Amino acid sequence: MPKLLTVSRAARLVGVSRGAVQKKIQDGELPTFEGQVTPVDLLRVFPDTELKPDREFERVTSIKAHAYGKRVAERTMPDPEILSARLQEVGGELADAKVALKHYRTVFQQLQDQLDQISHSTAQTRGELASQLRKWLSKALDQSQSDIRPIQPLLLQDSMLTVMSAHVHLQPSGHEFFVEGKDSILEAALTAGLSLDYRCSNGNCGACKARIISGDVKKIKNHDYVITEAEKGMGYALLCCHTAVTDLVVEAREASGAGDIPEQEIPAKVKGIERLTEDMIQLSLQTPRTLRMRFLAGQLAELRAGDARKSYHMASCPCDDRNIQFYVRKETGNAFSDYVFGKLKKSEVVNIRGPFGDYILNEDSPRSIVFIAWDDGFSPINSLIEHAMALEIAERMHLYWIVSKDKQHYRDNQCRAWADALDNFSYEPLVAGSHARDALNHVFRQHRQLEDYDIYIAGPEAAVTGARQILDNRAFPAAQVFGYVVE
């Protein structure tokens, strides 16, 4: 059996999203062997692959890093010790391959020698047979070389990928991700959009304890939480304090729905108050180093500052470390927005309680996605998009942001940046006319095979109900419509 690649690794090597690879598998174009694919099949299905620097991956990494405010240069290079361990691993594989190659050459040489002897024997039929066998062997040797040649660059790139990052396969979910640079396994899983169980992210609580089934990890942070000797013997480790040295298989707890995440109350600091428009503020909060807010993209939290409180959607992705963003609109009669617009200062503490709500991404869906944000419905849609990007689940994503005449696309630049950076993402800002249905019909007309999509719409009741009715009239499957009314 030739070398097999996981879906995540295959997607990286040919520079497409995991969703795109999965679509080819579902359509029967790309065969799998126990969920993995061969390099030959991969290159056959993605023939335009440029086996040069991994540009798509770099672009996605940089847009994610930009969106999440992380300094890429500091994070991409692994620790020298880890690097050396991984080089050793790759070197070991190379040495094994060389030994195997040498062995096969010797065997073939011996076979050829024997055939020579047979061909020199006097029996005519034996001689003919030997001659045929010889020809076959020579052809087979040439053939194996020409089979390998086209995929050599892919295998070389795969070796580089193995050195720069370690692949992690989670059980029982089957989720996969890569640990880059100096990241802990937990950080890498969160960046990949996965919802592993954790709390402090600092080695104190034990919530991220998981069993390493195979592969090597290295401690990168001391921890107060005690793992017993018996647990160590069974392979348990804290994912927030260890990084991956080699590819891993890990048994870990993950949230599969909103009900799996407990309500939390966390005092967060104001990191930024950015006035996006006259009546819209982007509020950036940061949780303490020892306490992270665990939530799913699309969920809400109640914010409290001074005596004022109100619930808002978390507009950022759960993968964004300790940072959480909210869009706060200036509203008459809303004490919290009065406080944010009039009194709130940087470094002040805002209490976050939550998460609430179950407007979340259907991560198991194989379909592409149409996102429709209507006015302030952009907030949950923003979070869902960033999460979908982190997970790389959708083959294509289209965002339509429809605003009423008196409102603005207050994060227009960010949406355009997504569209510029990602080949599988498109964005169209729209202004609603007097009939909400006109804008919605315009959106649906853009997609001939609309039933190939999941549709997420968030906005005022009239927009969500209108969308459902139009789709219902077109006999669009109700299970593929995810509507949320923003109060």
CB of 241 to ligand FES, least distance (A): 7
Paired sense of beta strands 165-171 and 280-286, if any: unpaired
The one segment of 33-41, 201-209, 252-260, 338-346 that binds ligand FES by CB under 6 A: 201-209
Minimal distance, residue 478 CB to ligand FES, in Å: 39
Is residue 367 within 8 Å of 396, Cβ to Cβ?
no
- Beta strand 264-277 with 280-286: parallel, antiparallel or unpaired? antiparallel
- Crossing angle (nearest 10°) for helices 7-14 and 18-26: 110
Q: Is 201 in the site for ligand FES (CB under 6 A)?
A: yes
Asked if 208 touches ligand FES (CB under 6 A), the answer is yes
Angle, helices 55-68 vs 378-391, to 10°: value is: 140
User: CA-CA distance, 120 to 413, in Å (whole number)?
Assistant: 79
- Under the binding rule (CB under 6 A), the answer on residue 205 touching ligand FES is yes
Instruction: Count other C-beta atoms under 10 Å from residue 425's C-beta.
Output: 22
When binding is defined by CB under 6 A, the residue of 75, 199, 304, 437 that contacts ligand FES is 199
Cα radius of gyration rounded to whole Å, the chain = 27
* Largest interatomic CA distance in the chain: 107
Closest approach of ligand FES to the CB of residue 354, in Å:
18
Rounded to 5°, angle at Cα 432 from 430 and 437? 110
Shortest distance, CB of residue 207 to ligand FES, whole angstroms?
5
- Confirm or reject binding of residue 238 to ligand FES (CB under 6 A): yes
For ligand FES, which is the closer residue by CB, 198 or 453? 198
Region binding ligand FES by CB under 6 A among candidate stretches 31-39, 203-211, 365-373, 475-483: 203-211
Least distance (Å) between residue 67 CB and ligand FES: 23
Q: Which amino acid is at 75?
A: R
Residue 388 CB, nearest distance to ligand FES (Å)? 25
Closest by CA position to 164, among listed 248, 53, 83: 83
203 binds ligand FES per the rule CB under 6 A:
yes
Nearer to ligand FES by C-beta: 121 or 290?
A: 290
Residue type, 233: G
**Judged by CB under 6 A, which stretch of 94-102, 193-201, 390-398, 465-473 contacts ligand FES?**
193-201
237: closest CA among 247, 250, 246, 255?
250
> Nearest distance from residue 242's CB to ligand FES, in Å?
10
- Say if residues 342 and 308 touch (Cβ distance below 8 Å): no
> Does 207 sit near ligand FES (CB under 6 A)?
yes
CA torsion angle for 416, 421, 426, 432 (degrees, to 10)?
A: -10
Residue (200 or 391) nearer to ligand FES, CB: 200
Q: Are 185 and 251 in contact (CB under 8 A)?
A: no
Only one residue has tokens 């809303």, namely: 334
Least distance (Å) from ligand FES to the CB of residue 216? 19
Stretch that binds ligand FES, among 19-27, 28-36, 146-154, 200-208 (CB under 6 A): 200-208
Q: Which residue, 198 or 482, has its beta carbon nearer to ligand FES?
A: 198
From the list 49, 76, 173, 204, which residue makes contact with ligand FES (rule: CB under 6 A)? 204
Handedness of CA 201, 202, 203, 205 (dihedral sign): negative
Stretch that binds ligand FES, among 198-206, 265-273, 379-387, 467-475 (CB under 6 A): 198-206
Stretch that binds ligand FES, among 68-76, 84-92, 187-195, 206-214 (CB under 6 A): 206-214
**Residue number, 203 or 459, with CB nearest to ligand FES:** 203
In 329-340, which positions are buried (b, 16+ CB within 10 angstroms) versus exposed (e)? bbeeeeebbbbb
C-alpha triplet 463, 316, 12: angle, nearest 5°: 105
CA distance 175 to 190: 12
Residue-wise burial string across 141-152, b where 16 or more C-beta atoms lie within 10 A, e elsewhere: eeeeeeeeeebe
CB of 55 to ligand FES, least distance (A): 35
Q: Which of 36, 84, 119, 206 lies at the binding interface for ligand FES (CB under 6 A)?
A: 206
Task: Provide the minimum distance between the beta carbon of 239 and ligand FES in the complex, in angstroms, as a whole number.
Answer: 6
CB neighbours (10 Å) of residue 170?
Answer: 23
**Closest CB to ligand FES among residues 240, 324:** 240
Q: Is the peptide bond before 355 cis (omega within 30 degrees of 0)?
A: yes
Mark the segment that binds ligand FES (CB under 6 A) among 126-134, 142-150, 199-207, 402-410.
Answer: 199-207
**Given the rule CB under 6 A, which of 36-44, 159-167, 196-204, 317-325 is the region that contacts ligand FES?**
196-204
Least Å distance, CB 169 to ligand FES, is: 20
Return residues touching ligand FES (CB under 6 A).
Answer: 198-201, 203-208, 225, 238, 240
